[in-house]
Amino acid sequence: MNSKNKVLMITPDYPPDVFGGIGIHVNELAIALSEINCDLTVVVAPLYKEMSFSRIEINDNLSVVTLKQQITDEVPLNYWPLRLSKYNEQLLNELDKYIEHSNHSSFDIIHIHDYYHAHVAVALKEKFQLPLISTIHSIAPPASHFIDGLRRFLASNSDTIISVSAWLREKIKTRYNLDDSVKVIHNGITCKNPDAALLRAKKPTQPKIITFVGRLAPRKGCDILLRAFKKVLINDPTVILQMIGDGPLRSNLESLADDLGILDNVQFLGYIKNEEIRSYLANSSLHVVPSTQEPFGIVALEAMAEGIPVITTTVGGFPEFITHGWNGYMVEPDEVNSLSDAIQLLIENTNLRSNLAYNALTSLNNFSWKKVAASTKSIYLEHISKEKIIKKYHINMF
C-alpha cells in the first residue's frame, strides 16, 4: 500500500463562516484530496477574528485546526500592513509550537492559499526544508500595492505556483517575471442535487428573479448591472434583482438604485452564508456576473450547477469555461446596453434559458473537485519525489 502524502495547508478562510471563494475552494479541495490518500492538516487562520485552539477530525485523512489568535487594538484597523504582520507573528509562533509538539513533524509539503500568510509559509519552508506550493487566486491590486508585494515575495519563494485560470497565469508570469513554474488548475464545482438541477434546466419554472452574488466593490460591475436593469424594467416591470453580498459600495449602490427609480425591484440582501446562496440561485431565472475583472468566477459555476443560465462578461477566466451561446451568454464589460439586451433576451425566451442551462450542466464534468485534487496531488508527488532524491543524495554523500 502506498504511503500517504502528508500536507500542511494554510488558509485565511474556511466554512462555516466563509467570506470569499478561497474558503469554498480549500474546503472542497481538502475533502477531495483526503479521498485520494493525502493526509491533510488544514490550518485556518482568519483575519479580524479572536481564535482559540481546536482540532476537528473531518475524516481519517483530514483534520481542521485553528490556533490561538488574539485581536490587538494596538494597531488601528486601517494600518493593514502592520495588523497583518501582527497576525502572522502570532500564527507563526503558534504553528511552530503545534508542529514541534505534535506528531505532525513529518509533513511532506506545505500548501498555502494566496498572500495572507506568505511570511509564515516561507518561514516554515525554510525551517523544515519542505517544498512550498502556493495557489494564487487573484491579482487585483496594482504592482506598487502592499498586497502585491506579498504575492511577489510568495511567488519568488514557492516551488510551484498554482493559478486558478490561464488568464491569471499569464498575469502572474508577466508581473512577477516567472517561467513555467506557474501551473493552471481551475476551480471545481459540486452539484449538490443534480436531479433537481437537471429538472430546472429542462423545465424552467422559476419566477422572474435575477441574481448577483459577490462583494459590492469596484471591479464587480454592480453599477453597470443596475443601469442595465433599469432598461429591463421598461419592458417588464415585474422582474426582481437580488443583490447578494456586502461591501464598501453598498450605500452608493443603494443610492444609485434609488436615483434610477428601481429600488422597489432591487433587493439588497447583504451577506448570506454560502450554503444558503445555492437556494437563492435555484429559485432564480438568471444569474449575472458583470465583473470588469475576474480571475475565475466560481459563483458562475455555482449557478450553472443549480441548472440556472448565466450571463458573464468576457473578462478573465470566464471564456475558459463558458462558450457564448452554448452554455452561457457573454457580453463586453461596462456595456450597459449589451447587458440589458442579453438579460431581456434570456428572461423572455424560456427555451433559450433551458438550452443554456442544460449545456452548462453537461460542461461541468470538466470541473469536478476529483479532477482538481488529482492534478494538485500530481504536483505534490513531483516535489515530494525530488525532495526524497535530494535527501538520499545528501545521506550517501556522508
| pLDDT beyond 50 at 395 | no
- CB atoms inside a 10 Å sphere around CB 311: 27
8 A C-beta contact, residue 153 and residue 311: no
d(C-alpha 41, C-alpha 50), whole Å: 20
Asked if residue 152 and residue 63 are part of one domain, the reply reads: yes
8 A C-beta contact, residue 39 and residue 4: yes
| pLDDT beyond 70 at 64 | yes
Asked if residue 266 and residue 144 are part of one domain, the reply reads: no
Q: How far is CA 65 from CA 25, 57, 130, in A?
A: 17, 9, 20
CA 294 to chain centre: 11
Instruction: State which residues form the domain around 349.
Output: 194-366
Asked if residue 269 and residue 212 are part of one domain, the reply reads: yes
What CATH number has the domain bearing residue 284? 3.40.50.2000
Residues 219-236: tens digit of each pLDDT:
999 999 999 999 999 999
- CB atoms inside a 10 Å sphere around CB 29: 24
Asked if residue 373 and residue 360 are part of one domain, the reply reads: no
Q: What is the pTM of this model?
A: 0.89
Asked if residue 161 and residue 25 are part of one domain, the reply reads: yes
Asked if residue 46 and residue 125 are part of one domain, the reply reads: yes
Residues 118-158: tens digit of each pLDDT:
999 999 999 989 999 999 999 877 777 888 999 999 999 99
Amino acid 146: pLDDT: 86
Asked if residue 287 and residue 340 are part of one domain, the reply reads: yes
| pLDDT beyond 60 at 162 | yes
Asked if residue 160 and residue 44 are part of one domain, the reply reads: yes
Q: Give the total number of structural domains in the chain.
A: 2
Pairing relation of β-strands 329-331 and 310-313?
Answer: parallel
Asked if residue 227 and residue 248 are part of one domain, the reply reads: yes
Amino acid 76: pLDDT: 61
d(C-alpha 390, C-alpha 104), whole Å: 22
Asked if residue 204 and residue 251 are part of one domain, the reply reads: yes
Q: How far is CA 202 from CA 59, 196, 269, 308, 336, in A?
A: 37, 10, 28, 10, 29
Asked if residue 236 and residue 163 are part of one domain, the reply reads: no
Cis amide prior to 16 (ω within 30 degrees):
yes
**96-118: burial string, b at 16+ Cβ within 10 Å, e else:** eebbeeeeeeebbbbbbbbbbbb
8 A C-beta contact, residue 304 and residue 310: yes
Asked if residue 351 and residue 233 are part of one domain, the reply reads: yes
8 A C-beta contact, residue 194 and residue 234: no
d(C-alpha 333, C-alpha 223), whole Å: 11
Residues 342-387: tens digit of each pLDDT:
999 999 999 999 999 999 999 999 999 999 999 999 999 999 876 6
